[in-house]
Structure 1
Amino acid sequence: MEQLIIVGAGPAGVSAALYAIRLGVTPLVIHNGIGALKKASIIENYYGLPTPISGEKLYETGLSQLKALNIPVAEEELLSIAYDNGVYQVQTSFHSYESQAIILATGAKRNPITLKEAKKYEGNGISYCAVCDGFFFRNKNVGILGNGDYALHEAKVLEPLAKAVTIFTNGLTETFDSSVLGNIQVNHKKLLSVGGENSLEWITFEDGSKLNIDGLFVALGSAGSTDIAKKLGLILKDNHIMIETDTSTMLPGFFAAGDCTGGMMQIAKAVYEGAQAGTKAVKFIKNTK
């Protein structure tokens, strides 16, 4: 049986592993490849990076750190986590594991964007984080692809920066409170594709009409970690796992860190929560001997 399993190898998961091993517990890190970091073409707002770095490069650096410290890593898809009599049973696509403690750091998976040609403009007009990339769209026309509270939140982040902000519900008839929208517009037309020369320049709708736009932020919600949390009976708020200030949850020995806990979807926040989770998980393990 493992002492500690960390699910996720992004900033939160790697940070948790680094702190755990320094405190005497070697965790098993399970991950299923790069997540939201893959969408970050340029990172410029993280301490200690003298030049911009891609999210993919940062992710690879984290894996290299784990390897250098001989921390075991299993690249497997997480299927389920169950809790029974003080033991966590972890089922992946290849193996079954048991562990005293769990740190869930799987991030918050965004629903995939299905617009034609969309992949071509990721990092060149299409973004997945208003806080991260809103600065690059000052005084420009931007849109939010989504139809719920997450989309409205991203729109509110962009509103003071952009020239105009429009929420595209893609055919869904979500009704937003007009008193909350302010100057934010809502477009219910169904989208067909995006286009532009070297970067995003327009959106085409299914009715054949076209709208010029400088940027499109995807806010279609999150999944993955919440499914695990729901099955374990953990408390969720806005599809994020509710944690205490020390990253613990209502289940003994179960901790969560990073984007799956909500708040700022930033690397700095994920690294801090990962360090906190790694430290507290080790304390829990040693106290239950």
Structure 2
Amino acid sequence: MQQLVIAGAGPAGVSAALYAVRMGFPPLVIHNGYGALEKAEKIENYYGLPSPVSGKELYENGLSQLATLNVPVLKDELLSITYDGEYTIQASEGSYHTQALILATGTKRNTLSLKELKKYEGNGISYCAVCDGFFYRQKEVAVLGNGSYALHEAKVLEPLAAKVTILTNGKEPDFSLEELGSIQLEKRKIISAKGENSLSQLQLEDHTLFPLDGLFVALGTADSTDIARKLGLFMEDNHILIEADTSTPLPGLFAAGDCTGGMLQIAKAVYEGALAGTRAVDYLKSKK
């Protein structure tokens, strides 16, 4: 079992790792690629950069720093995290266990592009199968997404719902059909949502109606806020609420970077990461 795992290798995650390893607690860093930084063509407003660099270059520089300090880094997709006195991290390639955890995987900017989205959020549209699956016992539900995260959410719903369908919204699935089991697959695009007081139908690209009782959005990969919801953390405006020292109500769980809101800037992420790394080490020392 690891003493400390950091989820994310952007500015917040790398900063947390650098402080933790220098305090004698080398973490395991798990990441799934560049994230929002990949879209940054030029970064000019961060201290110490003599000339603009791309977000991708900055990300790779961070990974190189970790390699220099022999910090173990794994590229894997996080699917879920549970807590029962220690943290169990379920990822695409395996499971990991840790006493302390720092969430620093950022926050997603992608969601379902429907004008009716806000109307049905909380009334048929959910973002957490673990949180809300119970309310759809023996009902027909769908999961929106085409990757491992969507398949994972569908598997959570499978023993509860009468029928589960993965809607890829026009994309090809990134998982094999053999993995579906009893789960259905629908590839047509969604053009609108319907229902009087709660979601009851989706209109597909050929104008056929797809009946359902609930839709669970699982686009892309699970980020820090997806994980936080499943752990029951307090959220506000899709951000994790943290204390001034980056701690959360769960013991040994900290969050840093874009997932905590505020200025979505590298400088803020680096500061919070440094704080989370030091506080996580303080927590681990107190456990000895």
Q: Give the TM-score normalised by structure 2.
A: 0.62
Matched-pair contact (CA < 8 Å) for 1:104–1:256: yes
Runs of 4+ in 1 over 6 A off after TM superposition: none
Q: CA deviation at 1:224?
A: 2.4
Which secondary structure state, in structure 2, belongs to the residue aligned with residue 245 of structure 1?
coil
Q: 1:112 to 1:237 in 2, by over 3 A?
A: closer
| Letter in structure 1 aligned against 2:24 | G
How many residues in Structure 1 have an aligned counterpart in Structure 2? Answer: 189
Q: CA deviation at 1:113?
A: 9.7
1:271 counterpart residue number: 270
CA displacement 1:42-85 (0-9 Å, x = unmatched):
0010001111111000000000001010000010000111000x
1:7 counterpart residue number: 7
Report the aligned-residue RMSD.
2.4
Matched-pair contact (CA < 8 Å) for 1:3–1:101: yes
Which secondary structure state, in structure 1, belongs to the residue aligned with residue 82 of structure 2?
strand
Q: Distance in 1 between matches of 2:229 and 2:108?
A: 15
CA displacement 1:208-236 (0-9 Å, x = unmatched):
xxxxxxxxxxxxxx972222111100000
User: Is structure 2 residue 54 aligned with structure 1 residue 22?
Assistant: no
CA displacement 1:160-185 (0-9 Å, x = unmatched):
xxxxxxxxxxx99xxxxxxxxxxxxx
1:245 counterpart residue number: 244
CA displacement 1:191-210 (0-9 Å, x = unmatched):
xxxxxxxxxxxxxxxxxxxx
Matched-pair contact (CA < 8 Å) for 1:87–1:100: yes
Matched-pair contact (CA < 8 Å) for 1:111–1:223: no
| Letter in structure 1 aligned against 2:67 | K
1:286 counterpart residue number: 285
1:80 counterpart residue number: 80
| Letter in structure 2 aligned against 1:82 | T
CA displacement 1:237-270 (0-9 Å, x = unmatched):
0010000010000001000000000010000000
Q: Identity rate of aligned residues, in percent?
A: 68
| Letter in structure 2 aligned against 1:61 | N
Unpaired stretches in structure 1, ≥5 consecutive residues: 115-144, 149-170, 173-221
Q: Distance in 2 between matches of 1:109 and 1:67?
A: 27
2:63 counterpart residue number: 63
Matched-pair contact (CA < 8 Å) for 1:43–1:55: yes
1:37 counterpart residue number: 37
Which secondary structure state, in structure 2, belongs to the residue aligned with residue 66 of structure 1?
helix
1:107 counterpart residue number: 106
Q: Distance in 2 between matches of 1:268 and 1:29?
A: 20
Matched-pair contact (CA < 8 Å) for 1:5–1:103: yes
Q: Distance in 2 between matches of 1:287 and 1:95?
A: 29
Q: Distance in 1 between matches of 2:223 and 2:61?
A: 24
Which secondary structure state, in structure 2, belongs to the residue aligned with residue 244 of structure 1?
coil
Matched-pair contact (CA < 8 Å) for 2:78–2:222: no
Matches within 5 A, 1:196-235: 224-235=223-234
| Letter in structure 1 aligned against 2:28 | L
Q: Distance in 2 between matches of 1:44 and 1:94?
A: 36
Q: 1:238 to 1:111 in 2, by over 3 A?
A: same
